[in-house]
Amino acid sequence: MSRKARINRKTKETSIIVDANIDGKGSYKIDTKIGFLNHMLEQLSKHSLIDLKVQAKGDTHIDLHHTTEDTGIAIGECIKKALRASKGIRRFAHALIPMDETLTRVSIDISNRPYLIWKVKLKVEKLGEMDTELFKEWFQAFSQAAGITLHIENIYGDNSHHIIESCFKGLARSLREALEIDKRIKNKIPSTKGKL
């Protein structure tokens, strides 16, 4: 069964179209009108092997909050939709991502019980044009919409760019593993409840 989906999310603040193929090769076409967010979503696609197309327009003349948050929601919804019943997935995964002086740990459970633990401190207020407080908003929106328990901990690091990029790469590598079909249980839900 193909694990692909499309989400078309429109509000008074944003208009976002997302296409995702969980079983892709990590190809991407990202346009959020926010340079640094584009760069992070490209990392997410490349290292998760999820093919990702994102076309976003938002009220960036006000600030970048709505576009950032709604992009997280739309991508999360799209992955959840593509996953369908979650049969056969590995479900749990974690990644330790080094990036120069930085080390970040990301752990996930594709449980349909969204929760975010965010233990990341940044020393600057902006990366590119983005307020750094928006990164927590993106991960919160993504985890809620995707139904994923998501723990992100920056263990150490100095450079804020490296810290945030290691968070996105950690999510990517964790998704790649957790969404993979386990051939031993390929037609079963990975839960004693029989449902996620």
What does the pLDDT read at residue 141?
A: 98
What does the pLDDT read at residue 37?
A: 97
The enclosing domain of 54 has a CATH number of: 3.30.230.40
What does the pLDDT read at residue 188?
A: 84
DSSP label of 172: H
Within a 10 A sphere around the Cβ of 146, how many other Cβ atoms?
Answer: 23
* Domain count along the chain: 1
SS3 136: helix
What does the pLDDT read at residue 177?
A: 98
Residue 65 lies in a domain: yes
Residue 194 lies in a domain: no
Residue 51 lies in a domain: yes
Residue 193 lies in a domain: no
Residue 191 lies in a domain: no
Residue 149 lies in a domain: yes
Residue 57 lies in a domain: yes
Tell me how far CA of residue 35 lies from CA of 85, 126, 138, 186, in angstroms. Answer: 34, 12, 15, 39
CB-based burial, 13-31: b 16+ in 10 Å, e otherwise: ebbbbbbbbbebebebebe
What does the pLDDT read at residue 145?
A: 98
What pTM, to 2 d.p., does this model score? Answer: 0.96
Range of the domain at 140: 4-185
CA dihedral (139, 140, 145, 146) positive or negative: positive
Alpha-carbon Rg of the chain, whole angstroms? 16
pLDDT in tens, the chain (196 residues): 789 999 999 999 999 999 999 999 999 999 999 999 999 999 999 999 999 999 999 999 999 999 999 999 999 999 999 998 788 999 999 999 999 999 999 999 999 999 999 999 999 999 999 999 999 999 999 999 999 999 999 999 999 999 999 999 999 999 999 999 999 887 888 887 777 7
Residue 190 lies in a domain: no
